Amino acid sequence: MSILITGGTVVTTEGTMEADVLIEGEQIAAVFTPDASSEVVVDEVIDATDMYVIPGGIDGHTHMEMPFGGTFSVDTFETGTKAAAWGGTTTIIDFAVQPKGSTLLATLDKWHEKADGNCAIDYGFHMIVSDVNDVTLKEMDTCVAAGVTSFKMFMAYPGVFYATDGEILLAMQQARRTGATIMMHAENGIAIDQLVAQAIAAGRTDPVYHGLTRPPELEGEATNRAIALAKVAECPLYIVHLSAAHALEAVAEARDHGQNVFAETCPQYLYLSMDDLARPNFEGAKFVCSPPLRTPEHSAALWRGLRTNDLSVVSTDHCPFCFKEQKELGRGDFAKIPNGIPGVEHRMDLLHQGVVAGEITLSRWVEICSTTPARMFGLYPRKGTIAAGADADIVIYNPTARQTLSVATHHMNVDYSAYEGMEITGKVAVTISRGRVIIADGEFRGSAGHGNFLSRDLNQYLI
Ligand SMILES: [Zn+2]
């Protein structure tokens, strides 16, 4: 099967160019100046006039079918990857979650079982390390050899995922031996738990107190601590879902000093705020995630961080829980609200609003949504660019189409939209995954099982 995409504007980190893209089989065969492709004979021609032709999005942070607080996030690998495809994302990297007492390899097997044969787009895994002991430390090396080259740890959630500073140091030292990256949920969970207990005891149980008991200072403190531990262990560090200016300052300082420290933020921290958490009638529960939504000054700082590259990536932390029966578990006690916001479908569109508003350039949009995640997670140049030899993961994006985000029209398996009613300029016209058109003409044409597991190399930013 060969496809020629004609008439579009190819956008990469290098800039934009009028070019035609030839796909043969699962890969990009050539990128032509428009006239040079006139002799090419192909099975299918796709007209991309007035559209952008961009590398498919790479969402480096999703939680499909994730156990949390006695329930599971509601997108399966099938529904979640289909929704991703609708929104122009062609690769996800999901977090395998080691239950305490289990092993990393058993966990990896379990995640393969959940995902294999069910994904509409390609996928990889990070590993969440919940138990640090001699066995799991050794298993980290085996995971790296199996293409899982990043490990997430938590300074939050005591009693669940929380790791002590000593455990974090040990895991970082282990990661250093193979060049693996440690990813950190950086919030001071020990202090936060005291604030949470005080709030509940005082009868402050509404969702907004989820935000008020997780102040930005405690994200900043934990981020500083993670950076210091990574420096001592000489290990690459990637701060996940950075939400606070305090944490961004710590990351910027470490980067200025040449340390291998990287950070991502998420669309919810750019577009939603503490005001959403404070919505009446328990509606704030829809916006409970950790770290919490912040005040608008933090969002402004995050946009600046995206421009200066102190924030290199935007991922979604897609972790959907329905309002009915799941978020409602926390009525009368915000600490029991499952943490997470659905978003895998909307990342490309939401960040495109940053282009429309002049916050970031077109090339930067592609960079933070696709090219940098590909390099950060060891997938480049197979993924993350439009060039001969790369996988034909391509999105044809209509930059002038209008759409309104809503639960009535989204494809995620969740009963609300965090962006209900938000008007967007731009929309995916066609999504191509490894040479196969999976979204076109407002239809899903892919299939569960088309997506392949991606064995990943190390972080490609390390020297
Ligand atoms: Zn997460």
- For 406-455, the pLDDT digits (tens) are 999 999 999 999 999 999 999 999 999 999 999 999 999 999 999 999 99
Q: Which residues of 223-255 are buried (b: 16+ CB within 10 A; e: fewer)?
A: bbbbbebbbebebbbbbbbbbbbbbbbbbbebb
The DSSP symbol for 85 reads H
Closest CA to 89 of 265, 287, 271, 351: 351
Compute the distance from residue 63 Cα to the ligand 1 centre, in Å. 6
Compute the distance from residue 282 Cα to the ligand 1 centre, in Å. 23
Compute the distance from residue 376 Cα to the ligand 1 centre, in Å. 17
Compute the distance from residue 399 Cα to the ligand 1 centre, in Å. 29
Compute the distance from residue 97 Cα to the ligand 1 centre, in Å. 10
Compute the distance from residue 128 Cα to the ligand 1 centre, in Å. 10
Contact in structure between 406 and 421 (CB atoms under 8 Å): yes
pLDDT in tens, 100-118: 999 999 999 999 999 999 9
Sheet holding 181-185, edge to edge: 57-62, 89-97, 122-128, 150-154, 181-185, 237-239, 261-265, 313-314
**Helix residue ranges per DSSP H, 116-164:** 134-145
Compute the distance from residue 68 Cα to the ligand 1 centre, in Å. 11
Q: Please check the confidence at residue 38 and state whether its pLDDT lies above 90.
A: no
Q: What's the pTM?
A: 0.97
Compute the distance from residue 394 Cα to the ligand 1 centre, in Å. 26
Compute the distance from residue 62 Cα to the ligand 1 centre, in Å. 6
Compute the distance from residue 460 Cα to the ligand 1 centre, in Å. 22
Compute the distance from residue 402 Cα to the ligand 1 centre, in Å. 30
Q: Which residue has the tokens 């996928």?
A: 123
pLDDT in tens, 224-262: 999 999 999 999 999 999 999 999 999 999 999 999 999
Compute the distance from residue 358 Cα to the ligand 1 centre, in Å. 28
- For the segment 169-187, the average pLDDT, to the nearest whole number, is 98
Task: Respond yes or no on whether the N-terminal peptide bond of residue 291 is cis (omega within 30° of 0).
Answer: yes
Contact in structure between 7 and 53 (CB atoms under 8 Å): no
- Specify the pLDDT at position 36: 81
A 10 A CB-CB count for 448 gives 15
Q: At what angle do helices 245-256 and 296-308 cross, to 10 degrees?
A: 20
Compute the distance from residue 159 Cα to the ligand 1 centre, in Å. 17
Compute the distance from residue 318 Cα to the ligand 1 centre, in Å. 7
- For the segment 132-140, the average pLDDT, to the nearest whole number, is 97
Compute the distance from residue 10 Cα to the ligand 1 centre, in Å. 32
- For the segment 377-396, the average pLDDT, to the nearest whole number, is 98
- Specify the pLDDT at position 287: 98
Compute the distance from residue 291 Cα to the ligand 1 centre, in Å. 10
- Specify the pLDDT at position 68: 82
Compute the distance from residue 186 Cα to the ligand 1 centre, in Å. 11
Compute the distance from residue 49 Cα to the ligand 1 centre, in Å. 37
Compute the distance from residue 290 Cα to the ligand 1 centre, in Å. 8
Compute the distance from residue 40 Cα to the ligand 1 centre, in Å. 45
Compute the distance from residue 61 Cα to the ligand 1 centre, in Å. 6
